[in-house]
Amino acid sequence: MGNVVVWKPSMSAMLSGHVLMNLYKEAGFPDGVINFVPGDPEMITKHVVDHPQFAGLHFTGSTAVFNELNQKIANNLSKYRSYPRIVGETGGKNMIFAHKSADVAPLVTGIVRGAFEYAGQKCSACSRAYIPASLWPQFKETLVETMKKVKTGSPENPSVLVNAVITEKSLDKTAKYLQRAKDSNECEILVGGTVDKSVGWFVQPTVVVVNNPDHELMKDELFAPVVAIYVYPDEKFEETLDIASKTSGYGLTGAFWAKDRAVLEYADRKLADVAGNFYINDKCTGAVVGQQPFGGARHSGTNDKAGSALNLLRWTSVRSVKETFVPPTEVTYPYMHE
């Protein structure tokens, strides 16, 4: 297609990128099409974004960094050969919302898997949940029992669900949130709440029950194995849907659980702009490339649906060609003649 890519991996994910690049080469991918360039992110970014032939950015990372990159590109518009295409997949504060008609056992499974697989280090990970009061006693009991089966440790052990967080910085940030939760009268640590960096950087999978739907744990992206749960009165279902929609500036993924079909359809309409990837009676993670295009809007990115033809078209430059077989020979048009 004529596109050449400079691939700058995250400083904390260079090894996996290196392995993947070697797989591409081994598979016969031509040299020079994808150029794997690990190194100092600011230096590489400055060099690439300052180049007159810079044609586009496809970014995955934090909302703050994406905003900075957008600004740098905007400042350089006059020097580029063409206007760059900009695609971003950034943060998320993804929710699972349950109606009183939901099945509890699969709901618990969806929250545990959605919140704690990959130690919550997925942009789509479940980090907030809304549970109706009528389901709470059964839900709480099932959740606590389920969490007893969740193992934390090395991913080399296939029985482990929760691995380490990626950096000590990530662990320290999460620890501060957990400490504030412990000190707050708005929070109850139901499960977990501890960190351990004696060997690796491990955050114990944590469930925090909050009595304030506007608490920071319901709004801020942690990128860690922590999920906040707000228990709402059944009669305030619609009001709580509105709260859930407005609480976060993100719009990546979300899930709604109910057996009542009319309620499902209502929630689907009500939450139309809350999640670019919306799940019904399922966890809010696990989009499969080629089957479920992925992306979200608001502060979660440009919603260009990675893993689909929609995204591919963003990187093409369309040319229209017209050929005339019977060219006109008179300047005047027929309607101009008397």
Beta-bridge mates of residue 256: 97, 280
Q: Could you give the residue numbers annotated as active site?
A: 89, 123
203, with CB counted inside 10 A (0-12, 13-18, 19+), is buried
* CA–CA separation, 275 and 6 (whole Å): 30
Own/partner pairs, 103-107, CB within 8 angstroms, 24+ separation: 103/257, 103/259, 103/281, 104/135, 104/138, 104/139, 104/142, 105/142, 106/257, 106/281, 107/135, 107/139, 107/257
Sign of CA dihedral 319, 320, 324, 327: negative
